[in-house]
Structure 1
Amino acid sequence: MARIAVIGAGLGALASAARLAVAGHRVTVYERTETYGGAVRRLERGGFGFDTGPGLLTLPAVYRDLFVKTGRKPLEECVELVQVDPAARHVFADGTEVALPNASRAGVVAALDEALGAGAGARWGDFLVRAREAWDRTRRPLLEEPLWPDWQVLTGQEPYPAVPHKRLLRTRRAGTLAEIGAWELRDPRLAALLDGHALAYGLDPGTAPASAAVLPYMEHAFGTWYVRGGIRELARAVYERCVERRVEFVFGAEVVRVLEKDGRAAGVELAGGAMAEADLVVGTGPFRLAGLAAGRELYGAGAVRPVPEDRRPGRMVVCLALRGAREPGAAHRTVVHGEGGLGPFREGLLPERPTVVVDRPDDPALRPDAEHESVVLTATVPAATEYDWAAPGAADAFADRLTAAAGRAVPGLGERLLWREVRTPLDTERETGATGGAVPPPALAGPGGALHPANSTDLPGLFAAGGWAHPGGGLPHAGMSGALVAGLIVEGPEFRGSQ
């Protein structure tokens, strides 16, 4: 039995802690804040509740597997999973609207044909077939296996089978999502539908590789799910599973250094000088982890190297408390499509019409009574090191634009608004420690793809879990990260992933 110190209580760290405890190890989690969950938080005020992190869950099989492997009660006995339908309603810039059914290719094709015109559904359906091929090519190495030592093969060839496109006497193939939209989907609204999936993961459609087509495919193929009571309930269930497995938690304990002895990780030092010895250490994002390891090189030449976290975008979240009941048949999620993606931010400007995700859960646990409603608005924005969210009026000015956009999805929003809470990447940084409040994207293959550093490091006994390590960001990816770290510790370097 090894003593294992885990830095942070995000979902990736919790997933690894539960699995390691079941394997017989003595696990202690050191979390600098006073609660668990990382970015999976809840804001509560005046009887209203709001998920301030992810609003829906994809690939619930990741957490089903976690609960099967760590205890008697399956996931569904610990939380109530609800498959939302429609998966989302979309409001496009030209006023066109369409509601897309959950996990139904035929239903999606029919809905798009009716809303956008004959042929639109077929083009999107054909795109999903190609996206599935990219998914089949990359799923196992990117999600289920430790990062390959020869990881360069994952970025050498584009896994998305783009359709040849003739342009100016040349035949080209789409290399970015924006090019897929222009050359294959051939409708600005379908392109916006694709762009919205990229933005939701913090990716700019203009630079995101074509392989990012796996993101809409993943949601289409496996559905989108809501956890009754809010996604925070998933974090609670994983935390409680850890407690059941006798994982020890120390909250308000900031780790300032990874201890090293005889060339191995040997524990952690806490703010205030206390030392906690351990045989193994599971750390947080590799970029921050290098600082905790006294600047020691954790990834050698030829490895995927950590990059500063603040090069990735963050998220703005606006929580709206509304008077009046939610209208019957309202969609759980509406995406109000704007214009410009992240482009205006590169010039230091706020987009006039941002793309906004509007979540309206029909959940009594998140409202004072049936005559009120809680709504969460989310938009992808630059990290706090790229845009001054603390400047007077900056956050409220952009929140005004999000709220105005949401008015296209929520009837009578302006008259119903009681109050709002505005959260910027500065809040994310405070809660998660991520530099600038950036949010990690998932790993993507192909040229221009974003891979994350491996879960094992060059310091023996030190491992990295969570969204900034392989296989990247997102709730399912965090759970898979925890599974990979546990596998590497329990089975050793020969571990090759789940079978």
Structure 2
Amino acid sequence: MVVGAGVGGLAAAARLAADSHEVLVLEQADAVGGKLGTEVVDGFVFDTGPSLVTMPWVLEELFAETGAPLADVLDLRRLAVACRYTFPDGTVLDLPGELADVPGALDAALGPGRGAQWTAFLGRARAVWDVTRGPFLESPISVRGMLRLSRRVGDVATVAPWRSLRGLGARYLEDPRLRMLLDRYATYTGSDPRAAPAALATVPWAEQAWGSWYVPGGLGRIAEALRTRVEELGGEVRTGAHVVGVVLVDGRAAGVRLADGTVLDADVVVANADAAEVYGHLVPGRAAARARRSIARATPSLAGFVLLLALDDPPADQPHHQVLFAEDYDAEFDAVFGRGGPARPVERPTVYVSAPDDPAVVPGPGTGAWFVLVNAPRHDPGGGVDWDRPGLAEAYADRLLDLMAERGLDVRDRVRHRTVLTPADLERRTSTPGGSIYGTSSNGARAAFLRPANRSPVPGLYLVGGSAHPGGGLPLVVLSARIVADLVRRDDASGQPR
């Protein structure tokens, strides 16, 4: 049984069904996808979560190992321009989607030698990837595995667990704009580059090595394709089914209880929900209490404030993705994580815009469906930002549109309608405490060990998704599903209690 029909839950369900398990997926919402959500307003289709696919081989592997190949199900298109970056000094960089073209583009936009700096950094990042891919990203995290890695002195030096992402970048990147570009990759895990580990250098390497991809019609189609795959394999996906508890028998997971009182039995329960929600509300007992304490020691990830803009006559020649950098990136992270005072909305945040040139997501020619995102502190009425405070969300939305205009992207007179999604909205939609997108951040050298493991301390219960190992983002969530399916298979074969 799988609780939650996000990408992690559906991917795990597909793998388990392919292994001949009888699979039932229970989703409290009326649609699948979880954080890979879709909003449709007057013919405009918006992705409300991830807006690009990286490491596409992870999806290709999933579909190939559970049935028909990905190419038979979804059309992935590689973006020629991965992202347009506008820096505070007005410099504009169109980062190519092909790795071989990146150094030349950096030299042309930022000045001679910048491509060489970035190439040198990516060389180190690739080495970190080679060391960490197996033991960190594709395997269950374990003390034994970490001890084995720690004995290889050269590998430890490569990963540099004592160094932050920003600290590693400083060794290679002299241009402050390149350092700002690198800082942004920490936000892929909801983290602060000053505290996130150097191992996150693998994020820009993976993105640029395998490119940035888009699914025509929107990334929400991935979730629908996964649902279809589960059902083709004989599994059932039931929406509108609100799970309120995991049933334990003799200390092991034996099913779930629904909000209407129905109890459904299961040999295995896979929870695709935020780990804090799982251990805080769904699972009773001492083991869950210990897991809650471990999660509490980690820093929650940042959240996001979103504008969904339906535009008439959008500006021409816009790239699919663009980033308008903050004038003071450190001030942004200070505000989001509550340094130098309580957490607060960022006055002048970095603005991320997804503007797909895709006729399938708009009602007609001359219109645009834009997704605008800024980093934001989590919803915390008791000690931080109360995003439900009357007037706050709309006032902040107005401020962001004004800020975009200041940075050269003025669409204020083109907005047909807008939808505002705050961290509080995300919390309600996805049962994610505070709207923290990735559960816990990667802030601190010990963060990876505080992230909940895929095999829970409760026998028969497994965790999958962005708040569990190995972390958030589409590819890692899909990898977490593979880890869970392998664990279930291994536990079945051993004949030991799960």
Q: Distance in 1 between matches of 2:186 and 2:29?
A: 30
Aligned partner of residue 244 in structure 2, secondary structure: strand
Q: How does 1:165-180 map to 2 (within 5 A)?
A: 175-180=163-168
> Could you tell me how far 1:273 is from its partner in structure 2?
1.2
Q: What's the TM-score, normalizing by structure 1? A: 0.89
Does residue 323 in structure 1 map to residue 312 in structure 2? yes
Alignment correspondent of 1:239: 227
> Could you tell me how far 1:304 is from its partner in structure 2?
10
Q: Distance in 2 between matches of 1:75 and 1:132?
A: 26
1:387-415 CA-to-partner distances (Å, cap 9, x unmatched) read 21111232223323332343367754122
Alignment correspondent of 1:128: 122
The correspondence for 2:79, drawn from 84, 94, 98, is: 84
Q: 1:88 to 1:408 in 2, by over 3 A?
A: farther
Q: Distance in 2 between matches of 1:445 and 1:492?
A: 32
Q: 1:448 to 1:400 in 2, by over 3 A?
A: farther
Q: 1:259 to 1:322 in 2, by over 3 A?
A: same
> What letter matches 1:218 in structure 2?
A
Alignment correspondent of 1:32: 28
Unpaired stretches in structure 1, ≥5 consecutive residues: 164-172
Does residue 294 in structure 1 map to residue 284 in structure 2? yes
Aligned partner of residue 137 in structure 2, secondary structure: helix
Does residue 9 in structure 1 map to residue 9 in structure 2? no
Aligned partner of residue 306 in structure 1, secondary structure: helix
Q: 1:304 to 1:257 in 2, by over 3 A?
A: closer
> Could you tell me how far 1:300 is from its partner in structure 2?
6.7
Q: Given that residues 155 and 445 in structure 1 are in contact (C-alpha distance below 8 angstroms), is that contact kept between their aligned partners in structure 2?
A: no
Aligned partner of residue 98 in structure 1, secondary structure: strand
Q: Distance in 1 between matches of 2:249 and 2:169?
A: 53
Q: 1:344 to 1:325 in 2, by over 3 A?
A: closer
> Could you tell me how far 1:151 is from its partner in structure 2?
5.5
Unpaired stretches in structure 2, ≥5 consecutive residues: none
Q: Distance in 1 between matches of 2:391 and 2:307?
A: 15
Q: Given that residues 315 and 439 in structure 1 are in contact (C-alpha distance below 8 angstroms), is that contact kept between their aligned partners in structure 2?
A: yes
> Could you tell me how far 1:199 is from its partner in structure 2?
2.1
Q: 1:318 to 1:151 in 2, by over 3 A?
A: farther
What is the aligned-residue identity percentage?
Answer: 39
Alignment correspondent of 1:343: 334
Q: Given that residues 310 and 436 in structure 1 are in contact (C-alpha distance below 8 angstroms), is that contact kept between their aligned partners in structure 2?
A: no
> What letter matches 1:102 in structure 2?
G
Q: What's the TM-score, normalizing by structure 2? A: 0.89
Q: Given that residues 195 and 444 in structure 2 are in contact (C-alpha distance below 8 angstroms), is that contact kept between their aligned partners in structure 1?
A: no
Aligned partner of residue 306 in structure 2, secondary structure: strand
Q: 1:321 to 1:476 in 2, by over 3 A?
A: same
> Could you tell me how far 1:310 is from its partner in structure 2?
7.7
Alignment correspondent of 1:166: none
Alignment correspondent of 2:236: 248
> Could you tell me how far 1:288 is from its partner in structure 2?
2.2
Q: Distance in 1 between matches of 2:447 and 2:462?
A: 23
Q: Distance in 2 between matches of 1:352 and 1:110?
A: 34
Q: How does 1:302-321 map to 2 (within 5 A)?
A: 305-307=294-296, 311-321=300-310
Q: Distance in 2 between matches of 1:159 and 1:397?
A: 48
Q: 1:443 to 1:155 in 2, by over 3 A?
A: farther
> Could you tell me how far 1:25 is from its partner in structure 2?
1.1
Q: Distance in 2 between matches of 1:308 and 1:433?
A: 20
1:169-210 CA-to-partner distances (Å, cap 9, x unmatched) read xxxx98222334445312221111111222243111121122
Q: How does 1:88-487 map to 2 (within 5 A)?
A: 88-105=83-100, 107-150=101-144, 152-153=146-147, 161=158, 175-283=163-271, 284-290=273-279, 291-298=281-288, 305-307=294-296, 311-325=300-314, 327-328=316-317, 330-338=318-326, 339=328, 340-345=331-336, 346=338, 347=341, 348-385=343-380, 386-407=384-405, 411-440=409-438, 447-451=445-449, 452-487=451-486
> What letter matches 1:287 in structure 2?
A
> What letter matches 2:130 in structure 1?
D
Alignment correspondent of 1:170: none
Q: Distance in 1 between matches of 2:298 and 2:401?
A: 28
Q: Distance in 2 between matches of 1:408 and 1:239?
A: 43
Aligned partner of residue 418 in structure 2, secondary structure: strand
1:461-482 CA-to-partner distances (Å, cap 9, x unmatched) read 1111111111111111111111
Aligned partner of residue 481 in structure 1, secondary structure: helix
Q: 1:235 to 1:191 in 2, by over 3 A?
A: same
Q: Given that residues 344 and 377 in structure 2 are in contact (C-alpha distance below 8 angstroms), is that contact kept between their aligned partners in structure 1?
A: no
> Could you tell me how far 1:162 is from its partner in structure 2?
8.5
Q: 1:230 to 1:342 in 2, by over 3 A?
A: same
> Could you tell me how far 1:51 is from its partner in structure 2?
0.6
Q: How many residues end up aligned between the 2 structures?
A: 478
> Could you tell me how far 1:296 is from its partner in structure 2?
3.4
Q: 1:353 to 1:159 in 2, by over 3 A?
A: farther
Q: Distance in 1 between matches of 2:253 and 2:274?
A: 16
Q: 1:491 to 1:59 in 2, by over 3 A?
A: same
> What letter matches 2:285 in structure 1?
G
Q: 1:197 to 1:407 in 2, by over 3 A?
A: farther
1:1-30 CA-to-partner distances (Å, cap 9, x unmatched) read xxxx21111111111111111111111111
1:299-347 CA-to-partner distances (Å, cap 9, x unmatched) read 979x99434888221111111111115524x211111111233212313
Aligned partner of residue 23 in structure 2, secondary structure: strand
